[in-house]
Amino acid sequence: MTLRSLVNRETVSYAFWGVVTSVLNIGLFELLLFVGTDYRVANLIALLVTKAAAYVVNKLFVFRTHTESPAALTAEFFRFVIARGGTMLVDWVGLIVLVSVCGVPEKYGKLITTVVVVILNYIVGKACVFKQGPAGDSPSRSR
What is the pTM (predicted TM-score) of this model?
0.77
Whether residue 137 lies inside any domain: the answer is no
- Does a structural domain hold residue 63? yes
CA distance 103 to 97: 8
Q: Is residue 107 part of a domain?
A: yes
Domain count, the chain: 1
pLDDT tens column, 46-65 = 999 998 999 999 899 988 88
Structural domain boundaries, residue 73: 9-129
The answer to the question of residue 4 being in a domain is no
Contacts 24+ apart (CB under 8 A), 89-98: 90/116, 90/117, 90/120, 91/43, 91/47, 91/116, 91/117, 92/40, 92/43, 92/44, 92/47, 95/39, 95/40, 95/43, 96/40
Whether 138 is covered by a domain: the verdict is: no
Q: Is residue 141 part of a domain?
A: no
- The pLDDT tens digits of the residues spanning 62-112 come to 888 888 999 999 998 998 888 889 999 999 999 999 999 999 999 999 999
Inform me whether the pLDDT recorded for 15 exceeds 90. Answer: no
Is 28 contained in some domain? yes
Is 2 domain-assigned?
A: no
Q: Are 20 and 57 spatial neighbours (Cβ–Cβ below 8 Å)?
A: yes
